[in-house]
Amino acid sequence: MAVIPVALAGRSYEVRAGSSLLANLAGEAKDYLRKDHVCIVADVNARDNWGEALARSLQSAGIEPRWYDVAPGEGSKSWESLAQLTDWLLAQGVERGDHVLALGGGVVGDLTGFACAILKRGCGFVQLPTTLLAQVDSSVGGKTAINTAAGKNLIGAFHQPSLVLVDLDTLSTLPQRELRAGYAEVLKYGILGDSDFFAWLEERGHSILALDKETLEQAVATSVAAKARIVAEDERETSGTRALLNLGHTFGHALEAETGFSERLLHGEAVALGMVLAARYSARLGRMPEAQAERITKAIDLAGLPAEISALSLECDGRALTAHMLHDKKMDAGTLPFVLLRGIGSAYLDREVDLSDVAAFLDEQLQAH
Ligand code: GLY
């Protein structure tokens, strides 16, 4: 098992990644469990697959699991779901010193984390992420949120979990497409800040996607350690360091918006293609060598992720895509900071990007291939 500390003044916690963590939950999370019962907010699929093992562990320690089911999908990150969940947690008598467990992907983690941020002005929670994307990104770092009609994740809070247990066994029941989408975020850590890790992933990407235990654990631990370093440096995304985690997200957001935030393009797939576009645009500006942009494209393509915008068969031009970017919550004082690259492993925040030039670049990309 890998143990990665997230060092935050007064609120440090551990991310533990390995096998059988859910089956041994009572032991792994013992410092955060009440003696009598525990509230578990769960994605229904995750509960179907892992609920029994988890419940067995709790019951053997005399702890009664109390389940709250969440339907899969972004629709569950709504005001209504938040109201229902907080009402339920209050009815269960959750106290400020208690910990609620969040079992599932980013939707459950974000919703539960936000509910815990506001319940009695803040109670504890433990993340039990069951998707690769949640394991390497959303469960770590304390961003919690719901969606509103105005956009995704616009209402939320920074609220750190007390513990994150990444049970890698859960990836065996994850659909391949979602596994690949999560792998885009693993690649992201190499591309934005660690060229050695990127080179290691170029060699071992197939073993990770084939769920080779040792390689997977190392990939997840390295990704989480990278995120932990960034969060420790810039927890509230004020200095620009944490914003580097948005590599691929500005282009990706435009593509997700154009495809209606639908199954047509999963978030991780949009980030993958967004990273290709950020790399190619950086090369077009002369900031990084073309050959490095092509290495990034190849790694993404080999992972079975979308690497060409033309594959989406969009019926729009570059300007329509940059128009979506203007609704991005990353807008800052009327400008849109872009995460660009000086090379593999060297991302930086560029506040001077000319959106009409980006639109022209996207027109070229839409016409190519
Ligand atoms: N997912 C980006 C962040 O946690 O900052």
Domain containing 210 — which CATH number? 1.20.1090.10
Q: Looking at the structure, do residues 298 and 190 belong to the same domain, yes or no?
A: yes
Give the percent of the chain with pLDDT over 90. Answer: 94
Q: Looking at the structure, do residues 157 and 181 belong to the same domain, yes or no?
A: no
Q: Looking at the structure, do residues 291 and 353 belong to the same domain, yes or no?
A: yes
> Residue 279 — φ and ψ, nearest 5°?
-70, -45
Given the residues 16, 49, 99, 185, the one annotated as active site: 185
pLDDT, tens digit (0-9, with 9 covering 90-100), for 191-237 = 999 999 999 999 999 999 999 999 999 999 999 999 999 999 999 99
pLDDT for 205 equals 97
Domain-ending residue, one of 119, 144, 173: 173
Residue bearing the CA closest to ligand 1, atom 3: 245
Whether residue 267 has its Cβ less than 6 Å from ligand 1: no
Q: Residue 297: CB partners within 8 Å, gap ≥ 6?
A: 276, 279, 280, 307
State the closest ligand 1 atom to the C-alpha of 137, by its place in the atom list counted from 1: 1
246 is catalytic: yes
227 is catalytic: yes
The CATH number of whichever domain residue 148 belongs to comes to 3.40.50.1970
State the closest ligand 1 atom to the C-alpha of 243, by its place in the atom list counted from 1: 5
Q: Which domain holds residue 168?
A: 2-173
pLDDT for 369 equals 63
364 is catalytic: no
Given the residues 47, 99, 188, 253, the one annotated as active site: 253
Q: Looking at the structure, do residues 154 and 226 belong to the same domain, yes or no?
A: no
pLDDT, tens digit (0-9, with 9 covering 90-100), for 251-269 = 999 999 999 999 999 999 9
* Overall domain count for the chain: 2
Our CA angle for 231, 233, 238, nearest 5°, is 85
Q: Looking at the structure, do residues 113 and 181 belong to the same domain, yes or no?
A: no
Whole-model pTM?
Answer: 0.96
267 is catalytic: yes
Q: 24 C-alpha vs ligand 1 centroid, how far in Å? A: 28
Q: Looking at the structure, do residues 314 and 184 belong to the same domain, yes or no?
A: yes
Whether residue 185 has its Cβ less than 6 Å from ligand 1: no
Residue-wise burial string across 329-359, b where 16 or more C-beta atoms lie within 10 A, e elsewhere: ebeeeeebbbbbbeebbbbebbeebebeebb
Among 78, 76, 102, residue whose Cα is nearest residue 89: 102
Identify the band that residue 327 occupies on the pLDDT scale cut at 50, 70 and 90: confident
